[in-house]
Amino acid sequence: MVNLLITGGLGFLGQQAARRFLRRGAALWSPVDRCLKPLSQLTLFDAGGIPDDLPAEITQDERVQVKIGDITAEGVPAELVDEPDMAVLHLASMVSGDSELNPDRAWEVNVLAQRALLDALAASAPGARFLFTSSTATFGSLPPHAPPDYAAGDGTKQLPGNTYGFCKVVCELMVNDYARRGAVDGRGLRLPVVVVRPGAPPPLATARRHAAGALAGPIL
């Protein structure tokens, strides 16, 4: 059976992913046996505290364990992926507004922590599935005179306009290289908008503000 780690596991995406995996009795790719096997243990790792409203289907499932810590701390990534039969859903990230205010910390959280996690996974579970969330922020602003149906693709030049987007470009290239070498079976998913968890909003414009404005506006 396969252990699954979800970093940023107590945020909106992390909880939703966890519930889907638990409900479906999902089969995960085993890097040891190279076939699909049942989920054995689901670890939700997060930097924040455990929410009071964490769903019972998560808290009462014996397959789930919750760990709180700093993913940038030395040794933490290796502790999280210390089994040979592992898969990782890497959602932990410093959001755009905070990244602009503290680019050094953004580099540690968004880039160096991912590298440490990939190195640890390659050592303990070579060839393991590693899915991380990137962002359409890697493309920056729309090109001048872009048509209404403009869509960016893998061939679109990436020109990030902020620190968050820059970090995500680096992370995409990093996963590509680890996958090329066979260290992990890496994939990335570019999300257009991430609504961050409840709390004081960052002082800069972020996805939360854009989403709030869209939800408050007229529905066309």
Predicted pLDDT at 195:
58
Residue 83's φ and ψ, nearest 5 degrees, are -115, 150
Which CATH number fits the domain that encloses residue 183?
3.40.50.720
Mean pLDDT estimate for the chain: 87
> How large is the C-alpha radius of gyration of the chain?
18
Question: HSE of 80 in the Cβ direction (CA atoms, 13 Å)?
Answer: 35
User: What is residue 196's DSSP assignment?
Assistant: P
Domain range for 158: 2-216
pLDDT class of 96 with cuts at 50, 70, 90 = confident
User: Which is catalytic among the residues 21, 164, 166, 178?
Assistant: 164
Distance CA 62, CA 40 (A): 10
Dist. CA 42–CA 71, nearest whole Å: 17
Q: What is the pLDDT, as a whole number, of residue 84?
A: 95
Total domain count for the chain? 1
Give bridge partners of residue 188 from the DSSP assignment. Answer: 132
Give 142-197 pLDDT, tens digit per residue.
888 888 888 888 888 999 999 999 999 999 999 999 999 999 999 999 988 655 55
Q: Kindly state the percentage of the chain with pLDDT values over 90.
A: 70
Q: Is 164 a catalytic residue?
A: yes
Q: What angle do CA 197, 26, 16 make, to 5 degrees?
A: 10
